Every structure is written in structure tokens, then in C-alpha cells.
């Protein structure tokens, strides 16, 4: 190996991962909002042909990887893609690229997931790019309980819900109830000629919303969000802890920031958020997330060194 170990580590921090058994690298390109434009896709293809081996792979987090880049081509590849508004990156103990499902266009999506992901990309992936964390911090934006983006397996997962708003006065007691037949969890039954929604069984997936032609179930209802924290997958899988209440859109930014501040203050070096939650308890985390102390001490927390395990 003619490339020094310190140079391999240095470019890894820039998003270039050594290809096994070679002296070439895969360069990870971040997609804001999990979407590339057509022009950006053309730029990726040209970059792969000019600086890599002519192939592009896509990651689970919907980034692109240009494969087979020689070490001496790394800087030219970075400069080329920067002209297309793209950056290599997405590695290290910091906020990782935000992944979003197709809720923006999917028939099951309860909100514009890609718009939220772009906002979070700018505010946290870019805005916190120089903030060292104890370990990686992954954010996933999911549009509904189908969980295609696996929010419960991320450090901070967002899952959109829409609870049915039912007006029994508008129910005509149809022989074939569109609300009942659309419910994937059989939470709707007919009693005394009226639809009845079992709120304990309902998962607020939003599928039934707008299905009634007489608007017994409101065509538009507020989107609320289930939040998962501390999820991981792989060798040490941990399902994320779901916070005890749904939140509104205007609460999400503060919750992400508080979660990262709590993580930075309480986790040990190289300890994932889920491990810190298990060590310190969900109650302690929730008390901090739904309070104001962390934001009040933000500068102090960010200035402090990351803790080392005893």
C-alpha cells in the first residue's frame, strides 16, 4: 500500500472510503432531501467516467457513491461536483446525511418528507458539520407508519401520522363503508348503522382520511409526528424509543437539537445514543427533551469535551 494510513483516514473524513484490496476509493455524494436533480445525475455520471471507474452505486441513505476513484483524482472530483452544487461527505462522528422516504409523492405520505429533509439537511447536516459528537447521528424522515425509511432504526426518527377526525352526523351508514374497507388495521366497525372508530386500535396512518364521499372523516386533518430516538441496526440492533407523545411540526427542530445536545453531554466517546439512553434511562431523556435546560446551556455543552468511559 503506497498511500499512507493517515491519508486514508483523512480522506475518509471527507467521504472517500477505501475500496477493499485496491488503492482506489468510493466517494460518497450527499443528496439534499434524498433527491438529485436530472442535471446533478448527469454530473454524477460524468464524474464517474472522468475520475472513477465509470460506475455509480447508491447507499441505503440515498447518497450516491462514485466507485474506483484513484487517490490523485479525489481533489479534481470534489472540484468538479462542487460546480454542480454537490458535495462529497457523510462520514464520521457527526450528523450523517438525512434520509427521507418518498412521502412527498407517495399516496400514503402524510406530509412533504423531502422538504423537511432538505430543511434538516441545511440546519443540521450542514449547520452542525463542525460539531464533534460521541458517535454518528442519523436522522430519518418517514411519511407514514409503513416506515419505509425505518425511522425507528435511526438516532432520531420522524414518522408522520394523521388521525381521522370523525363526524358521526355526516355518516350515512353505507352498506359498503369506504372508511371501513380502507382501514389496514380493522379499527372501523359498523354499529347501529353508523361507523365506529376504535381509537385504541387506530394507528393514525391517515389511509382512511378523505375516503368517505360524505366527508364523515375529514378530508384534511392535522399531521402530527411520532418521534423515535436511539435506534440502531446492524451488529447491535436497538429499536428506537418512541417518545411518549406525538409532536407538531413546529416542535421538531428543537427536539432534534435537544437530542443532540443531550447526546453530546451524556454519551461516552464512541457510544451510540441508544446505549446512552439504556444506561441513563428514558425518563431522564424525556425530561430533558421536553424541558428548556439543554437549549439554555447549548454553548456550554458544545464547548465541553466529549466524555470518556470510566
- Chain-centroid distance of CA 225 in Å reads 13
What is the number of structural domains in the chain? Answer: 2
Q: Is residue 181 part of a domain?
A: no
Which pLDDT belongs to residue 219?
A: 72
Decide if 285 is inside a domain.
Answer: yes
- Is residue 20 domain-shared with residue 54, that is, in the same domain? yes
Please report whether residue 25 resides in a domain.
yes
235 and 158 co-located in one domain: yes
The rounded distance, in Å, linking the Cα atoms of 243 and 227 is 6
Same domain, 139 and 251: yes
**What CATH number is attached to the domain comprising 145?**
3.30.413.10
293 shares its domain with 148: yes
Instruction: Flag whether 216 is in a domain.
Output: no
DSSP classification of residue 217: B
Along the chain (310 residues), what's the average pLDDT of each consecutive run of 10 residues? Answer: 92 97 97 96 98 97 97 98 96 97 97 98 97 98 97 98 93 95 96 94 94 89 95 95 97 98 98 98 97 97 96
pLDDT on residue 290: 97
Three-state SS string across the chain, please?
A: CCCCHHHHHHHHCCCEEECCCCCEEEEEECCHHHCCCHHHHHHHHHHHHHHCCCCEEECCCCCEEEEEEEHHHHHHHHHHHHCCCCCECCCCCCECCCEECCCCCCCCCCCCHHHHHHHHHHHHHHCCCCCCCCCCECEEEECCCCCCCCHHHCCEEEEEEECCCECHHHCCCCCCCHHHHHCCCCCEEEECCEEEECCCCCCCECCCCCCCCCCCECCCCCEEEEEEECCECCCCCECCEECCCCECHHHHHHHHHHHHHHHHHHCECCCCHHHHHHHHCHHHHHHHHCCCHHHHCHHHHHHCCCECCC
Domain co-membership, 284 together with 227: yes
Same domain assignment for residues 76 and 108: no
Asked if residue 214 is part of any domain, the answer here is no
Domain that holds residue 143: 99-162+223-303
Question: Are residues 123 and 34 located together in one domain of the fold?
Answer: no
**Do residues 297 and 229 both lie within one domain?**
yes
Of 29, 48, 82, which one is at a domain's C-terminal end?
Answer: 82
Q: Do 78 and 39 belong together in one domain?
A: yes
* Structure confidence at residue 289 (pLDDT): 98
Do 280 and 146 lie in one domain? The reply is yes
Tell me, what CATH number does 26's domain have?
A: 3.30.70.3340
Residues 285 and 157 in one domain: yes
Q: Are 18 and 91 within 8 A, CB to CB?
A: no
Amino acid at each position: 500500500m503506497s498511500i499512507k494510513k493517515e491519508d486514508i483516514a483523512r480522506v475518509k473524513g471527507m467521504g472517500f472510503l477505501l475500496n477493499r484490496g485496491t488503492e482506489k476509493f468510493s466517494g460518497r455524494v450527499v443528496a439534499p432531501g434524498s433527491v438529485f436533480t436530472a442535471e446533478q445525475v448527469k454530473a454524477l455520471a460524468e464524474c464517474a467516467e472522468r475520475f472513477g471507474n465509470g460506475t455509480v452505486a447508491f447507499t441505503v441513505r440515498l447518497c450516491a457513491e462514485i466507485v474506483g476513484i484513484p487517490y490523485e483524482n479525489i481533489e479534481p472530483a470534489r472540484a468538479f461536483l462542487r460546480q454542480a452544487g454537490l458535495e462529497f461527505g457523510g462520514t464520521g462522528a457527526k450528523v450523517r446525511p438525512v434520509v427521507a422516504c418518498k412521502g412527498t409523492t407517495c399516496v400514503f405520505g402524510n406530509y412533504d418528507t423531502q422538504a423537511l429533509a432538505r430543511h434538516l439537511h441545511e440546519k443540521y447536516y450542514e449547520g452542525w458539520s463542525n460539531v464533534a459528537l460521541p458517535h454518528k447521528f442519523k436522522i430519518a424522515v418517514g411519511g407514514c407508519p409503513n416506515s419505509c425509511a425505518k425511522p425507528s432504526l435511526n438516532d432520531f426518527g420522524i414518522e408522520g401520522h394523521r388521525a381521522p377526525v370523525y363526524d358521526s352526523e355526516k355518516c350515512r351508514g353505507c352498506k359498503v363503508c369506504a372508511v371501513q374497507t380502507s382501514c389496514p388495521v380493522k379499527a372501523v366497525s359498523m354499529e347501529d348503522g353508523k361507523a365506529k372508530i376504535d381509537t385504541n386500535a387506530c394507528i393514525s396512518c391517515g389511509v382512511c382520511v378523505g375516503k368517505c364521499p360524505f366527508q364523515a372523516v375529514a378530508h384534511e386533518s392535522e399531521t402530527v409526528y411520532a418521534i423515535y430516538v436511539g435506534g440502531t441496526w446492524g451488529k447491535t440492533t436497538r429499536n428506537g424509543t418512541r417518545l411518549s407523545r406525538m409532536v407538531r411540526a413546529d416542535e421538531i427542530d428543537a427536539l432534534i437539537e435537544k437530542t443532540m445536545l443531550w447526546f453530546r453531554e451524556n454519551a461516552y466517546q464512541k457510544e451510540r445514543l441508544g446505549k446512552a439512553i439504556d444506561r441513563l434511562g428514558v425518563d431522564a431523556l424525556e425530561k430533558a427533551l421536553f424541558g428548556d435546560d439543554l437549549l439554555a446551556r447549548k454553548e456550554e455543552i458544545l464547548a465541553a469535551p466529549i466524555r470518556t468511559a470510566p
